[in-house]
Amino acid sequence: MSCELESAVESALGQVQNPSLGTDVYKAGLVHDLTVADGNVTVALDTTAVDPSMARGVADAVVSAVGGVDGVDEVRVRQVTPQSPAGGGHPGTGSPGHHGTAPAHGHGANTAHDHTEESVEGTDAFEGIERVIAVASAKGGVGKSTVAVQLACALAADHAVGIFDADLYGPNVPTLLDVEGPVRAGTDDRPRPVETGGVEVMSTGLMNDSQPLAWRGSVAHDAVTDLAETTAWTDRDTLVLDLPPGTGDVPLSVLQETSVDGVLFVTTPFQSSVADTRRSVELFADEGVPVLGTVLNMASHTCPECGDEHPLFAGGTDDLDVPVLAELPFTDDVQETAVPGETPDPFAELAERVTERLAEAGHIDVPDDAVDVRGLDSEARYDAVADGFASVASGDPFHLVSDRDPTPVREYLGELAGVDDPVLAFQPFEVEKWGSETWVLRTRRP
């Protein structure tokens, strides 16, 4: 990401006025998240405090202003809502809030950027669910869905669990759980999950009579997000999300538009599968999703004649930079229909390891004097940042913990420090995403 382009985008946003509050969208606290990468800009915008008749105009103005910046090829406006009752603005703190998708509706006004587009997104598909565990794989055929289903069944022994089958190219979850559709809608027209053994199940495989699926990328994305957003889950504390294999548009979009607490990768020990998994782990980590670990599936087979255990594939996991949480044998009991609360021992142990890793992933490594603005309203955020920054001597580190992307706070810190160019003055300026709702900023006072 170019610092110069990011600074230019921030300056452009500073020129967009919020007509309801009489100030720019930054100072009004409407910008919750800003991502600039390879000419693509995503702005998370909270317009809940804006007069509804003006909200669309504000979003259009953001697209026009950012689209007019040299080097910007595409602009996306993602509509978010506050995470806490206080909600409100920030001096650059931002969780992507609640995510979802609505159709793109236009192009930027600047004719120099003919490919500038806007899309406005809505609410978190899994709002109200305490933790969401994604199960992913770099390629198909490694047993990802089997692991996802068995993990959900193991967790169901102690938790209210749901499983969402986002693998619409191969929706195998209903078959593995031996459940059938059709899905029924309630009085609110929202689809109700199918229930088996206390586990709630939602899948496109319950809605299409097992006909072959050949989805185009954009249609697939919309199908998954629409189903995720509208599903009427009951009171679930845990959701297992079975992602499509690979790192295409659908799995990445689902991760970006939902609050995922951790991802578990499934691979075989085969060398190429491990190499692909390593690259996928890096990509998912770049998206800010904590990688809990990997499952080595089909690791071995026990000979029925001699009882000796033999590896099925040559290779190993030396190339993986994340822990292996389980090495699963190729046995009949793993292939049997999953039963909630009654799972083979290897999966029960995996569920324990996943739970432990989730707790570890929630720990934020920052010093005690870090400024934590999570859950604060706009004015309190400004005050906390100002007070914390005032206590830092020139050259000393400054840490900020936020529930929104804190990148825009650089401009405010520049005002506090009295510098002309915050981008040059605050070096290093590192923002790291921890989980789905926490960001950490590390910088030094000039």
Q: Give the residue ranges of the annotated binding site for ATP.
A: 138-145
CA dist 158 and 341 (Å) reads 8
Sheet holding 74-79, edge to edge: 31-37, 40-45, 74-79
CA dist 152 and 231 (Å) reads 18
Q: Which residues are annotated as a binding site?
A: 138-145
Q: What are phi and psi of 174, to 5 degrees?
A: -60, -40
